[in-house]
A = this chain, B = another copy of it.
Amino acid sequence: MAAAAAATEESLRKALAEKQSAVDNQGNAVRTLKANAASKPEIDAAIEALNRLKLEKAEIEKKLQYCIGNGGADGSINKEAFRQHVVNTLERRLFYIPSFKIYRGVAGLYDYGPPGCAVKSNVLAFWRQHFVLEENMLEVDCPCVTPEVVLKASGHVDKFTDLMVKEEKTGLCYRADHLLKDFCNEKLQKDLSITADKAAELKHVLATLDDLSAEELGAKIKEYGITAPDTKNPLSDPYPFNLMFQTSIGPSGLSPGYMRPETAQGIFVNFKDLYYYNGNKLPFAAAQIGQAFRNEISPRQGLLRVREFTLAEIEHFVDPEDKSHPKYSEVAGLEFLMFPREEQMSGQSAKRIRLGDAVSRGTVNNETLGYFIGRVYLFLTHLGIDKDRLRFRQHLANEMAHYAADCWDAEIECSYGWIECVGIADRSAYDLRAHTEKSGVSLVAAEKFSEPKEVEKLVITPVKKELGLAFKGDQKKVVEALEAMNEKEALDMKASLESIGEVEFYVCTLGKNVAIKKNMVTISKEKKKEHQRVFTPSVIEPSFGIGRIIYCLFEHSFYMRPSKAGNEQLNVFRFPPLVAPIKCTVFPLIQKQQYEETAKYISKSLTAAGISHKIDITGTSIGKRYARTDELGVPFAITVDEENFVTIRERDSKDQVRVRVDEAASVVKDLSEGHKTWEKVWSEFPHHIPPSSADED
């Protein structure tokens, strides 16, 4: 679909350019006729032709406008209106509040208000149930304040940066890639006059934005004449800005620290203790839920790109030689949208693939990675994420860190486009090795053999004396390169030395070939008895951006329906009971003491059953009260309209059943905790048809 739209856009741009030159030509023709004082009919005919051409041009412009604005790249016009409506509802009902609002707020910081906070705590409780409890993970809870040495080892102190440009006059800062992106998008969407070639160029810039170096970004900004958005003043060259919030631990000023940018490092540094806690056995997973911080240069995308957010991360430690998973078969049969590397490279779109096939074909690197992809799919769809707007996208080779074995993002489509909400990466042994090196504490696992094994080991022994004579100051680098050979390289060299006596050998640290002779190195295979195999475990890391998941959930759950009178549109969040901020409301139909007492009795029973609910004894019409709670996503409403029976209403169908007062709380408990579906309740209890005046005004 996207490819088709792109083709249309291109042909429309070409047609527009042709029509423009036709208009220009005809305009010249008219002017010539006038200058030459041609006859009136002749001039009128030329003008009529000109007008016809202008109309045709306008028609093409309209089509192009529609194509790039709506049917095209990201359908931004309708999506923005939808988002505005959702966000207004969320802020009006206090799902979110811009933090420190009375002080005019701080960009990129939001509070969860009461219903938002309840949704968040439901999502986290389900995450604990679905991952920690079901998988017997070792949950830990580490501080946010982190000393520099830890984040130096992890690479964050050196590499956790974005490229920034500064407007020198005012000191305002911008993300360099964002300015370039905005410029390109603006041109593509609003400037109908650009040529198809120019459009292609801009699209190429957008596609390769993440790969541009500081120099390349700076050159493009200069080339396009991009200035500061607010003041139009010139900008500095792009330079890296570290995104961690920095602080100082203790009063001396001598211990720099940072607010952690992720929770994972707290797990890695505890590997040794956790491995011991698990009886020195692999595989096992540790998990952590907590705040993480990112001092964004200029946060945009509202609730999606914030400076403080809740992460839930899993680090599953596994033997690199055995990445099978005992429960893999439970998810292998799932089928959902996947977007492998090859499909992305060849311009195709995501497609429904059976997870088991993706693993067996090698598209997904290993069973454990596949298992977590499946579990993440179940987690998200259970929360209420639309499965048709959820895809698993594999990282392209250039997106992945050099050490990663494979990486998939769970992306959810919302009004901002496809948003990365969960990253599932096989990070190999990188993190444990980095901390082993920096701390000097060996973070390894061991497989004990049931009986000692005789193993053949490759032994490479450089003869330093000969190498020193031959290579002088380069000797050390040659020795290191020889020792770093893998088995195949070493055995090839051995064969060549034995047959030819000399071999060309590339030393990458020298950047050239050297000649290795037979007397310079001995290569042999030796047999040894070993009692165990010691290795650095691989880690498979599913990392959940909880705030992003919740925001997408809000968009996927939101819909509007006409009020009964048909004169207004009412907002509804179709949250499943699992995530709904409140499970149930209790309404006396009218203000009457008896009804209020019954309502309070039911409220007490619900509290005892641990069901969050709200009692509303205002005299507002029942229709208004329903509408108010539909907008909070409350799935069930109990209305008291007589002594012995109440009605229970389901939010989306608006259907109602009649239930005995003393049963009401337990029916809602069953519905809320998923022991019963509404369909089951609907089949068991008498239906209630409200008089037309009593519902939905």
Residues of A at the B interface (CB closer than 8 Å) are: 94, 97, 99-103, 106-107, 109-114, 116-118, 120-121, 125, 128-129, 133-134, 136, 138-147, 149-150, 164, 171-173, 241, 245-252, 254-255, 257, 259, 266, 269-270, 272-274, 277, 279, 286, 291, 293, 295-298, 307-308, 435, 438-439, 441, 443, 607, 610, 612, 614, 618
Contacts and interface: CB of A to CB of B under 8 A. Distances in A.
B102 A272 contact: yes
Contact of A270 (B97, B129, B138): B97
Contacts of A101: 269-270, 273
A117 B140 contact: yes
Nearest to A276: B94
A139 B114 contact: yes
Contacts of A270: 97, 101, 111, 113
A546 B117 CA distance: 19
A136 B614 contact: yes
Contacts of A150: 100, 103
Contact of A94 (B251, B254, B277): B277
28 contacts: A99-B142, A100-B146, A100-B269, A102-B435, A103-B150, A106-B145, A109-B145, A111-B141, A111-B270, A112-B140, A113-B140, A113-B270, A113-B274, A113-B277, A114-B140, A134-B607, A144-B291, A144-B293, A145-B245, A145-B259, A245-B247, A245-B248, A245-B249, A249-B295, A250-B295, A251-B295, A279-B618, A291-B291
As for how many copies of this chain the complex holds, the number is 2
B248 A173 contact: no
A147 B249 contact: no
Determine the main DSSP class of A at the interface with B: mixed
A610 B248 contact: no
Contact of A252 (B97, B139, B171, B245): B171
B249 A145 contact: no
A251 B164 contact: yes
Nearest to A124: B121
A438 B117 CA distance: 27
Contacts of A142: 99, 111-112
A110 B266 CA distance: 11
Contacts of A138: 113-114
A463 to B, nearest CB: 37
Contacts of A296: 250
A133 B259 CA distance: 32
Given A138-B114, A273-B113, A147 B247 contact: no
Contact of A106 (B110, B118, B249, B439): B249
